[in-house]
Amino acid sequence: MRLIWLALAVWAAFRVEPAHAQEHREYVRVTYYTIRGPMASGIFTHKGAAACSYGYPMGSVLEFEDGWAVTCLDRGLLGRDTGWVDVWAESLAWGRRYVAQDYGNYAWVTVRCWGYCPAE
């Protein structure tokens, strides 16, 4: 596991980000899911994890207008374009209360990190 994190750190230090990778806002479809287990990244589901459209590289951090941030660690079946974030919820009730009720079907997010970013 340490080898994987080391490889990611080296990759993040030397990669060149595309021009659109700078911090910016996007309007996205927001949904939630409750399936537990390993995500596409190999990390197990947890609060703050999300399945994101393929337009966001794994490890991207998206922050909602209220300051809550999620990390794209999973993929889903909502399409390959950008524009959706499927937040992991610990239960249906939690998802309804903290995702659906707070953000509705669509919300603005700020892309804080494009792909895996080094710790600040």
Stretch 31-55: mean pLDDT: 92
Confidence category of residue 74, pLDDT binned at 50, 70, 90:
very high
Q: What is the pLDDT of residue 98?
A: 87
Token digits of residue 107: 């919300």
Stretch 82-91: mean pLDDT: 89
Q: What is the pLDDT of residue 22?
A: 63
Query: For residues 87 and 33, what is the distance between their CA atoms, to the nearest angstrom?
Result: 6
Q: What is the pLDDT of residue 100?
A: 86
Greater model confidence, 48 or 103? 48
Stretch 78-103: mean pLDDT: 84
Stretch 9-21: mean pLDDT: 47
Q: What is the pLDDT of residue 23?
A: 78
45-67 core/surface letters (b: 16 or more CB in 10 A; e: else): beeebbbbbebbbbbbbbbbeee
Output the CATH code of domain 2-113: 2.40.40
